[in-house]
Structure 1
Amino acid sequence: MTRSTVSRLVDELIRAGIVAEHDPRGAGGPGRPAVPLTPAGGTIVGLGLQVNVDYMAGRVMDLTGAIVAEEHVAGDFESSDPAAVLSAAGDLTRDLVGRATASGARVARACLGLPGLVDTGNRRLLLAPNLGWHELTPADLMGPRLLPPGVELLVDNDANLAAYGVAHEAPGRVADSSTFLYVAGDIGVGAGIVVDGRVVRGQHGWAGEIGHVSIEPTGPQCHCGARGCLERYAGKHAVLEAAALPTSATPADLAAAAASGYGAPRVAVERAAWALGIALAGTVNVIDVGEIVLGAAFIPLVDLLRPGIEEQLRVRTLAGPWSSTTLRVAPADAAPAATGGAMRALEWVAREPAAWIDAVARTSA
């Protein structure tokens, strides 16, 4: 491209609020001084939303990765009424949108993460066993005037969104380590497969349901209807029950109890590590990934889980003698799917700025 074409395109991006121009550098030296350009802050934002079994959350992020507004609401949504819960999520959404627009920002998209099977094309939740929800369209239950005109609500699996967030340093900027298996421990156990910063979804978009891999075919009954699923050994409630701790205890409470001596909490965590190691080794054998990232409720327990997981990976991974699997921890985040959802909501602005500019022009006309 010619210099004039580049200048014209940059001017368009500046006018659209996608990039910001800074003071020239190198003034006084030979040639024209360089004008630094960076993603614009506070102009265009993405809204990430998350409904989990024990909380709902929302996070508004701008193109620099800065948080413009956020909210985290504790709750008990196990086997809940989806109309009531999603109506509350709609109120949270409208509040966050209002706070963002009051600051002068324009909302690009919103993305809702749910713990279950999601038909992303039709933006429908098919099944969320721990919530007790099935076959619903979240936008229909979140109420009217949810988002500004022309702004879409995407729906995705929460582990996929969390994995997307871990794979990116900021909207549109892939992290150095961007190929891995992300595994989130909560009431359920979910996973996201990431290759070069992109989430691998499978034919129907349902890849990553590691929580329903069978550890013992005759094991305890799972909410999904099957027996012996991983989440009945490594899900937060399952581990707390085995540890003889109340389900209100935090993962940090469990870690402290397990580290204090060899009693029920330590046995429960070691059992979870054994089950996780079996499921993860089988997954590594199938998808050939060299890095596993543990997130959500697993973060405080990583040091206690690591020996049991790595032992199972060592003895059960066929390629173990030739290739090791690295186990690392995700950044601490109270609502990782909300973070990933906000980044994904901004993805099309970062990847296709011309399409974004055209869409804004049509909406404003």
Structure 2
Amino acid sequence: MEAKIKSVTDPTRSPTPPPGPGHVSGAGPTGRLGGFGPGPVARLGRRGISRGLTGNGAPQEDLDAGSGRRERPPHHRAQRPGARQETLRESNLLLITEEIFSAAEPPSRADLSIRTGMTRSTVSRLVDDLLAAGIVREGSPIVGGTRGRPAVPLHPARGTLAGLGVEINVDFMAARVLDLTGTALAEELIEGDFSASDPQEVIPQIGEMALRVARRAAEAGARVVGTVMALPGLVTAEEDHLMLAPNLGWRDVDVPRLMCRSLGGPERLSQLPEGSPRLAEFGDFFVIANEAKLAALAVAQEFSAREQEEQTFFYVSAQMGIGAAVVIDGIVDAGPRGWAGEIGHVAVEPGGPQCGCGSSGCLEVFAGKRALLEAAGLEPDADAETLVALTEWEDEPGERARQAIDRAGWALGVALSGAVNLLDVDDIVLGGEFGPLADLLRPRIEQELRQRVLAARWSRFRVRETSIRLSPATTGGALRALRAVVDEPLRWVPQAT
């Protein structure tokens, strides 16, 4: 299996000096990638990530085997715990954290007191907790025209707590560490052919790459709080088991267990003994999630921060396969088991070509990267930019490329029309390999939407692309890991405070 390592660049970020010979990726800040602020904070699913921290699957309620009665659970495991002093502090701390991270303009302590109704002294104590935890930082005082102390704006902290996002896909693996401002502290991408690969061989490579990236972030002074790994397939609701990834050729893989064991650790991070820094660099948890859902999370954060309001759209992305996710008011709704969005295996022509999933006529066989390049007469390793350039030729290859894109646009339009009819979502966002092709795909997609969507007459469709080009799922994975900080800030506050 041939693979090569290269540094990651993204057109959405500030220019950085070119790497020297043998350089993999920068250890210092490499730019903004659609982080938490300013603006509403996007979320993957309606459950917190804390259920993936222990990995032991303990139920919230236990049955007494002798009496058949339900024993009263400990307070921290109760389904709806009543308010006590510590839970009141936790709730108030969460409220203050959310206000700071979602504010369009950095608030001061006085602003937070007004917005939350808490006293100034209470707000100050809670802000001191967040400062001690490295969750927020103070900006330069702002001197106004009124008497009193200058207002001190509060921002998400830089380079303190960070999330690690990891991805394996058919033609690359990648890792990225983001801090609470959305700045990439370290990242790496390895190109290769991982289709029909052996997870026993590939996962150790991913683990070593992830550790390298985590260590570079640590050298920059950040602490990784947790790791979320993106996979192009079906993942269990517990986020600890890959059920099926057709394009990788993987089936029934316990990814966290294999990752830990391959790196010389226990089967779960929760079993990690003290004094084991190697695996501890992954943070307090290691969970897996669907690649398209995590990419949609990154896009939702990008749009929410840019437009200062929660976004609703249907995200569809192409790598070798096609994944999708629906985002409602900034929340990526993955479905009750996390399996929603498998639009690549929606049949657009039931009698069509055979798909790798075992069915026929799926969207992927018309609009997937492999199918699109083959129809255009290009090699499998060609990129979307090459295809775009080919469409400008006034000859037979150019015509073939235009026909391939038109067919892909037709197939996408058919599948997306069904999604719009079911979900009542007017915004379509194209990502992955579809991003550079958006201008070429848009006319045919919109044509099919106008023709096939029942409410088309009263709808205003918008087909747009994301500016995140390289491995958005790693960004989404890092953002998802950082939700553990925003959702449970008290967990990271030093005990002494």
Shorter chain as denominator, the TM-score bin is over 0.9
CA distance in 2, matches of 1:170, 1:279: 24
2:143 partner amino acid: G
1:222 to 355, 362, 378: 355
Query: Could you say which residue in structure 1 is the equivalent of 2:197?
Result: 80
Is the partner of 1:259 in helix, strand or coil? Answer: coil
Structure 1 residue 335 corresponds to structure 2 residue 471: yes
CA distance in 2, matches of 1:260, 1:206: 41
Query: Could you say which residue in structure 2 is the equivalent of 1:203?
Result: 336
CA deviation string 1:151-184 (max 9, x = no partner):
1012100000000001114999995351100100
CA distance in 2, matches of 1:214, 1:276: 11
Alignment of 1:181-192 (within 5 A): 181-192=314-325
Alignment of 1:31-180 (within 5 A): 31-142=148-259, 143-144=262-263, 145-148=278-281, 151-169=284-302, 176=309, 178-180=311-313
1:255 to 388, 392, 413: 388
Query: Could you say which residue in structure 1 is the equivalent of 2:17?
Result: none
CA distance in 1, matches of 2:332, 2:369: 25
8 A contact 1:210–1:230 mirrored in 2 = yes
Query: Whose strand proportion is higher, 1 or 2?
Result: 1
1:286 to 397, 411, 422: 422
- Identical pairs, percent: 51
2:431 partner amino acid: G
Is the partner of 1:71 in helix, strand or coil? Answer: strand
- Going from structure 1 to structure 2, the CA distance change for 1:237 and 1:180 (only over 3 Å counts) comes to same
2:445 to 293, 305, 309: 309
8 A contact 1:171–1:346 mirrored in 2 = no
1:243 partner amino acid: A
Displacement after TM superposition at 1:28 (Å): 7.5
Is the partner of 1:130 in helix, strand or coil? Answer: coil
When normalised by structure 1's length, the TM-score is 0.94
Query: Could you say which residue in structure 1 is the equivalent of 2:433?
Result: 297
8 A contact 2:224–2:283 mirrored in 1 = no
8 A contact 1:93–1:146 mirrored in 2 = no
CA distance in 2, matches of 1:195, 1:186: 24
Is the partner of 1:328 in helix, strand or coil? Answer: strand
8 A contact 1:172–1:350 mirrored in 2 = no
CA distance in 1, matches of 2:244, 2:198: 14
When normalised by structure 2's length, the TM-score is 0.70
CA deviation string 1:58-82 (max 9, x = no partner):
1100001111000011010011111
8 A contact 2:225–2:282 mirrored in 1 = no
Moved more, 207-216 or 163-172: 163-172
Displacement after TM superposition at 1:242 (Å): 0.8
Displacement after TM superposition at 1:291 (Å): 0.4
CA distance in 2, matches of 1:73, 1:10: 41
1:179 partner amino acid: T
CA deviation string 1:100-153 (max 9, x = no partner):
112221111111000000114141110000000011111222233434386101
Is the partner of 1:182 in helix, strand or coil? Answer: strand
Displacement after TM superposition at 1:333 (Å): 2.0
Query: Could you say which residue in structure 1 is the equivalent of 2:268?
Result: none
Where in structure 1 are there 5+ consecutive unaligned residues?
A: none
Structure 1 residue 234 corresponds to structure 2 residue 367: yes
Structure 1 residue 323 corresponds to structure 2 residue 459: yes
8 A contact 1:48–1:112 mirrored in 2 = yes
Higher relative contact order (CA 8 A, sep 6+): 2
1:353 partner amino acid: P
1:292 partner amino acid: I
1:294 partner amino acid: L
CA deviation string 1:189-221 (max 9, x = no partner):
000111111111112110000000001111111
Query: Could you say which residue in structure 1 is the equivalent of 2:491?
Result: 355
